[in-house]
A and B are shown apart, each in its own frame.
Chain A
Amino acid sequence: EFSERNIRVSNGINADHPVGNGIKAMQACLDEKSGGKLKLTAFWGGALGGDLQATQALRSGVQEAVVTSSSPLVGIVPALGVFDLPFLFASADEAYKVLDGDFGTQMNKKLEEAGLINLAYWENGFRNLSNSVRPVTKWEDFEGMKVRVMQNNIFLDTFQNLGANATPMAFGEVFSALETKAIDAQENPYVTIDTSKFYEVQKFVTETNHAYTPFLFLFSKAIFDTYSAEEQAALRDCAAVGRDEERKVIQDLNKKSLEKIKAAGLEVNTLSAEEQARIREKSMIVYDKHKAEIGADVVDAILANLAEIRK
């Protein structure tokens, strides 16, 4: 049983991001299941407000949906901070197994308690470091580097612990700040480094893979509860269809973006396995510091889950 529904989906990113492909795939799926009755209207570039503001609008039943990374939401669901912990996932496959498995479902329950239905985990991806000072090959290379980070305690601590001067800054000012050397470095997925043209004003890129942030496709619980069981099922199923498409496109695009960054003349390096292990080891202090805040059970659960997968 389907009614005519206009579902407004707020996005902080722009329409050319792979989330755009995911939403198209999701719409195609919804068209088929609902006979064109469930319509997604996407708003891009924060036109309906920032991610946090949009999420609050969902909780109060003002707006239907948002695609947001987990990081800004830790003030609402502290457990989400677990995804900000440095060097948590070693590969995308690990992340998919955890997110699409039991651990992901557990987190969805916590979101539901806050009035948010997570339809599926989409992908923002692994974050990497770009800078204009020197190639980063070891822990000591971070020393004194002015790195822009999101306003998020775990990111701030991670980079401060590495010896960098972590500076929170609005995303919109990052390009100018990098260009004028007000800051040396920033950290984002390759796709963002490409689409925001950061490669024009940076010299070095290091594949640090220091954090994997998922995108959550959140729906307002207040509104979701008024939908019929069929509508709810269609949304969940099609969000998963959209997820698969989005993950596929973002993986391809990551490769293309990396090629583009290299073609632009940037020096790209990876961390050696030993150095990766060393930095990860040294970063465990950040885990300890934030464990209580995130919830010891949550941190232990994900580490246990990962240990299981890695066996």
Chain B
Amino acid sequence: MTLVVFIVSLLGAMAVGVPVAFSLMFCGVVLMWFMGMFNTQIIAQNMIAGADTFTLLAIPFFILAGELMNAGGLSKRIIDFAIACVGHIRGGLGIVAIMAAVIMASISGSAAADTAALAAILIPMMAKAGYNVPRSAGLIAAGGVIAPVIPPSMAFIVFGVAANVSITQLFMAGIVPGLMMGIALIVTWLIVVRKDKVEALPRAPMKERLRVTGRALWALGMPVIILGGIKAGVVTPTEAAVVAAAYALFVGMFIYRELSPKQLPHVILQAAKTTAVIMFLVCAALVSAWLITAANIPAEITGFIEPLIDRPTLLMFVIMLVVLVVGTALDLTPTILILTPVLMPIIKQAGIDPVYFGVLFIMNTCIGLLTPPVGVVLNVVSGVGRVPLGKVTIGVWPFLVAQVFVLFILVLFPDLVLVPARWLH
């Protein structure tokens, strides 16, 4: 019964357009009233305590690093580098897009920012080379959503804090699945473009390619610093984030000289606002999570799925389907925040590895960024690349299918995640 109250109050508020954060607070208020324990202090205390967590400080710093990467010209150098590497191959610009997307994913945790940078540069180039524009836009959108799967990742940080799972372990476990998403996209791309009549870019002379690579080295150093730093234990994820931001600032300002001190306040303000939006949501979710726990709602759900507890693969399959459906309408962070407190007790009881679950869950919510009616990354590509939203939605579907395929392969073979994760950690 509490479960029904939880779902109805949350969906009801969201349906009339109440922002998710306030809907979660509302759902919390309704739950405590229903449980006969109405006390305004529950709201106040849990809201603030939610932000008072050192681990979450990684969020603003990684956002800042991502913003600085774009403003400082690092993204552009990375794309130039990818063009120099594979631009001359048939269908090369698509491979360029994915290669650049994967490299940028290992610097930034934001799907929207990465996608915007890729779309602004590559869609005009792809159009000029004769590629089908909606399909190119779809590919870039699908490449952009790799960002939160490959570390650093705000999504992993939020999940790690909400589920009490090590963020370092999540980061390391995300690398291989993220690369698999990239490979699946390249394969799909090569299949769908094989009959298109397009011109490959001329192969640049070796000297030019070395020059571009040399210029990109500073930007390519960033993933090494972030992942190497965390992997070698020099820094915690929070510290890695601040080092990454400092490095991007240095490179953008003094090496590439595209970032002027004048721009800096705007970049920082934007990162601060993004942080506030995400964090306010995290805080509101901790209010409802507290009440979900106090009301023992997970136990209620466990009752329903009792028959599946002994069949982890089937259970994962069902959960992933549910997340896919939720992801059509809900953004990434809210999906993580709303479902984690409900699902984690079930995952633990079924004996599923929480890191493995985390990786698949985040991958799934990222796929949700590509599914209508609410697919934020589709909106970004449509806006930046000036392609109508409807066309992007059609262009993206082969890539969407490819990513869902990868997801369910990982459901069937957990070792594909677990073995490399163990090896990397």
Contact = CB atoms under 8 A, between A and B. Distances in A.
A173 B294 contact: no
Nearest to A181: B233
Interface in B288-317: 290, 293-294, 296
Interface of B: 37, 39, 41-42, 45-46, 49, 53-55, 164, 166-169, 230-236, 290, 293-294, 296, 425
Contacts of A77: none
A176 B166 contact: yes
A46 interface: yes
Contacts of B233: 176-177, 179-182
A49 B46 contact: yes
A204 to B, nearest CB: 18
Contact of A62 (B45, B55, B234, B236): B45
A62 B42 contact: yes
A182 B164 contact: no
A56 B45 contact: yes
6 contacts: A50-B49, A61-B39, A170-B55, A176-B166, A177-B233, A179-B233
A144 interface: no
A177 B49 contact: no
Contacts of A57: 41-42, 45
A45 interface: yes
B273 to A, nearest CB: 26
A48 B164 contact: no
A62 B41 contact: yes
A270 B81 CA distance: 58
B232 A180 contact: yes
A48 B290 contact: yes
Contact of A182 (B42, B45, B55, B236): B236
Most central of B232, B234, B236, B296 by chain A CB within 10 Å: B236
A117 B45 CA distance: 21
A176 B41 contact: no
Most central of A45, A53, A169 by chain B CB within 10 Å: A53
A62 B235 contact: no
Contact of A176 (B53, B54, B168): B168
Given A56-B45, A61-B41, A173-B168, 13 more contacts: A8-B294, A47-B293, A48-B290, A57-B41, A60-B39, A60-B41, A62-B45, A172-B55, A172-B164, A173-B236, A175-B166, A176-B233, A181-B233
B42 A173 contact: no
Contacts of A172: 55, 164, 166
Interface string A199-215: 00000000000000000
B290 A45 contact: no
Contacts of A170: 53-55
A45 B166 contact: no
B194 to A, nearest CB: 45
Nearest to A179: B233
B231 to A, nearest CB: 7
Contact of A53 (B45, B169, B231, B235): B45
B349 to A, nearest CB: 13
Contacts of A227: none
A43 interface: yes
A46 B39 CA distance: 21
Q: Which 3 A-B pairs rank lowest in CB-CB distance, beginning with the nearest?
A: A180-B233, A182-B233, A176-B168
A180 B294 contact: no
A170 to B, nearest CB: 6
B222 to A, nearest CB: 20
B49 A48 contact: no
A21 B202 CA distance: 73
Interface in A6-47: 8, 41, 43, 45-47
Contact of B169 (A46, A176, A181): A176
Contacts of A56: 45
Contacts of B230: 180
B236 A177 contact: yes
Nearest to A57: B45
A46 B164 contact: yes
Contacts of A43: 293-294
B28 to A, nearest CB: 12
A26 B372 CA distance: 54
Most central of A8, A170, A180 by chain B CB within 10 Å: A180
A41 B53 CA distance: 26
B288 to A, nearest CB: 13
A182 B236 CA distance: 8
Nearest to A178: B233
A180 B231 contact: yes
A223 to B, nearest CB: 11
A46 B165 CA distance: 13
Contacts of B234: 180, 182
Contacts of B169: 176
A51 to B, nearest CB: 12
Contacts of A177: 233, 236
A62 B39 contact: yes
B177 to A, nearest CB: 20
Contacts of A47: 293
Contacts of B53: 170
A180 B168 contact: yes
A182 B231 CA distance: 10
A173 B166 contact: yes
Contacts of A182: 233-236
B53 to A, nearest CB: 8
A138 B404 CA distance: 59
A172 B169 CA distance: 11
Contacts of B46: 49, 53
Contacts of A48: 290, 293-294
Nearest to B231: A180
Contacts of B235: 182
